[in-house]
Amino acid sequence: MALGEKVRAALSARIETHLAALLTPLPPRTLGFCAPVRGEFDARPLVSLLIEHGWQAAMPVVVAPNAPMNFRTWTPSSAMDSDRHGMPIPASGQTVVPDIVLLPLVAFDPQGFRLGYGGGYFDRTLAVLVPRPLTIGVGFELARVANIRPQAHDLPLDAVVTEAGVVHHA
């Protein structure tokens, strides 16, 4: 949120370039991602392009407190609603299991751990998905910190994409 609109747009374009280089060579998959809030990177243009190339997209939906999330299919024409936390979600759609999940980064560290908004929803969800999807944190370099001080339930990301590039952790 601290970034100005022009700076955020320029950095987001660089993130999108790196993320596209990582994802577009892959065969079509199901990609989970979040609608942007609080100045986050907006993956919808890239996800829309991937859909045109045969991918399926889905957004996480909180179904109950302290429970894993479901992923509901999304397209650029999906009617949107807000969940109990004010997060944008598809108003309807099929429940699917993603092969790859893009996770927003409030903060992240060099070991591949991330901080979100503190609800633990992604950790609970990823812990029960079998096989576990490829997890890619997406955010801005200004969110990099020396150490998240992960707890036992925290799961490291497979990769992090920022405007500086891609770092693989797996």
Q: pLDDT by residue (tens digit) across 91-104?
A: 999 999 999 999 99
Residue 51 has pLDDT above 90, yes or no: yes
Domains identified in the chain and CATH numbers: 5-168 (3.40.50.10420)
Q: Which two tokens stand for residue 157?
A: 């990301």
Q: Is the pLDDT of residue 49 over 70?
A: yes
Q: How high does pLDDT run on average in the chain?
A: 92
Q: Is the pLDDT of residue 110 over 80?
A: yes
Q: How many angstroms separate the CA atoms of 156 and 150, rounded? A: 9
pTM, full prediction? 0.94
Find all residues with CB under 8 Å of 118, minimum gap 6, and list them: none
**Whole-number pLDDT of residue 168:** 95
Return the H-helix or E-strand segment holding 23: helix 5-23
Q: CA gyration radius for the chain?
A: 15
Per residue in 130-164, pLDDT tens?
A: 899 999 999 999 999 999 999 888 889 999 999 99
- Check residue 170 and give its pLDDT: 64
Q: pLDDT tens digits, residue range 65-82?
A: 888 999 999 999 999 999
Q: Where are the beta strands (DSSP E) in 27-170?
A: 30-32, 56-61, 70-74, 80-82, 88-90, 95-96, 100-104, 107-108, 114-115, 134-138, 159-162, 165-168
Q: pLDDT tier at 64 (50, 70, 90 boundaries)?
A: confident
Task: Count how many residues are written for the chain.
Answer: 170
Averaged pLDDT, 10-26: 96
- What was the pLDDT predicted at 140? 92
